Structures are given as C-alpha cells and as structure tokens.
Amino acid sequence: MRVLITEDDGNLRLALEVALRGAGFAVDSAADLPAADEALFVNTYDCAVFDRMLPGGDALTYVHRRRGEGWQLPVLFLTARDSEADRIDGLRLGGDDYLVKPFAMAELVARVRSLCRRSTSGRPAVLRCGDVELDGSRHRVTRDGVLLTLARKEFLILERLMAGPGQPVSRQELVAYAWDEMADPASNVLDVVIGQLRHKLREPTVIHTVRGFGYLIAP
C-alpha cells in the first residue's frame, strides 16, 4: 500500500516516513501543496496524509476542491487545530479522518492502515489467473490448491500483476507499488523478487518478461 505524506515540518515528515515504512507501507512525501499536487498527478496512492496549514495554503481547501472534481482518495488530516468546529470542518469538507497533534505514531499508523483498506475495498477479494489464486484479505496465495509462502514484496508484486492478467505492467509501476519513490526501477531488486516469485510459483511459468518494459502474468 502506498501513502503520500504532505508535511512542511521536516523532522515530523521524516518521523512519519520512518514509522509508515517500518509498518510496511511504501511512502512518498511532499513539503507543500504544489509538490503534493504533482505527486498525486503522477502516482497512484491508497491514502494521503495532509498537514492542514502548508506553504501554498490550507490543505482542507485543496482537498475540498479535489472532492468537487470527483476525487475519492482517502485523506487523513494532521493539525494542531483541535476545536470541535475545526474537526467538523475537516470531515465535512473532504477529510476521512482527523488527527490532532501531538499524536502517537502507533495511532497514526493504525488510522492510515484503516483508510488504505477502504481505498482497496473495491478490488475483488480473490484475484485469479489460471490455477493461481491470490486472496488479498487473508494474504494467501495458492497454485493448483497448494498454499505458497510469499515474502511481502513478492506478494505485492504478484498482486499488482494479477490485478490485470495478460496486461503488461511497467518496471516503474511495479517498483512504485511495492516500494516507493526512493527505489530505483533500473536496479535489479525487482528482477530478484520476480525470480523468487517464479521459483515459488513453479513450472509452468506464469510470469513473463516484456522486454524493454516490464512483466505480465498469464496462464
């Protein structure tokens, strides 16, 4: 699951990145609204975390405008503004959750995880490609009825490929889905994970290389 953090306090932004990456999320970050807007245009996220008051304006105004355009990404607001009116405005004008500073990192991680589940709830519970089945809710993968043990990155890569059987997925998108913007799609880390997946899925192979582009899954 991939999260965007927009926070102008560098120390807090780093702490949020460390906490969420430690909990298994892929994390991108921005220090102001223009940078956040660019990241949201380029990438796909499961949740966005916004500080309310940012260089470039109030994030609540930005989110409210995007909601009017049909934007549905779950949003968590972080703010020192703790009045009842502020909390109501945050939820009424587009926020899905509202966390007042100071807060416990464990609570933030739990809230982000809950919002990410909401974001992905529209996906089929079980993805299938031939005799391979992936159950996202139970974190289970089977082939021909045999349960496989996958590492987290292996599971995420397989999940993204199985979201569109037969459709090529670029290296950049696979890296972004399983890691974050800090990872280099030109490195061999993705190829290592693909190799491990192919070994665990056994023959005949279902993960195919699309030369010069990425990979696809097909029976």
**For the chain, how many residues are written?**
219
* Distance separating alpha carbons of residues 50 and 52, to the nearest angstrom: 6
Choose among 144, 152, 161: nearest CA to 202: 144
Over residues 192-217, the mean pLDDT reads 93
Which element (helix H / strand E) includes 87? helix 84-92
- Protein fold of 2-120: Rossmann fold (3.40.50)
The tokens 């966005």 sit on which residue? 48
- Mark out the alpha helices in 4-80 (DSSP H runs): 10-22, 33-42, 59-68
Domain ranges of the chain: 2-120, 126-217
* Distance separating alpha carbons of residues 20 and 108, to the nearest angstrom: 9
- Residue 116 pLDDT: 83
The tokens of 127 are what? Answer: 């993805």
- Protein fold of 126-217: Arc Repressor Mutant, subunit A (1.10.10)
What confidence tens digit (pLDDT) does each residue in 78-95 have? 988 777 787 788 788 888
- Residue 120 pLDDT: 57
Q: Per-residue pLDDT for 119 more than 70?
A: no
Mean pLDDT, the chain, rounded, equals 86
**Cβ-proximal residues to 55 (8 Å cutoff; 6+ apart), any chain:** 8, 31, 32, 33
- Residue 45 pLDDT: 87
The reply to whether 126-217 shares the fold of 2-120 is no
Q: Per-residue pLDDT for 121 more than 70?
A: no
- Residue 181 pLDDT: 52
- Residue 185 pLDDT: 54
To the question of pTM greater than 0.75 for the whole model, the response is no
* Contact (CB, 8 A) for 193 and 178: yes
* Distance separating alpha carbons of residues 19 and 123, to the nearest angstrom: 26
What confidence tens digit (pLDDT) does each residue in 161-202 have? 988 888 888 888 788 777 755 555 556 888 999 999 999 999
* Distance separating alpha carbons of residues 119 and 104, to the nearest angstrom: 23
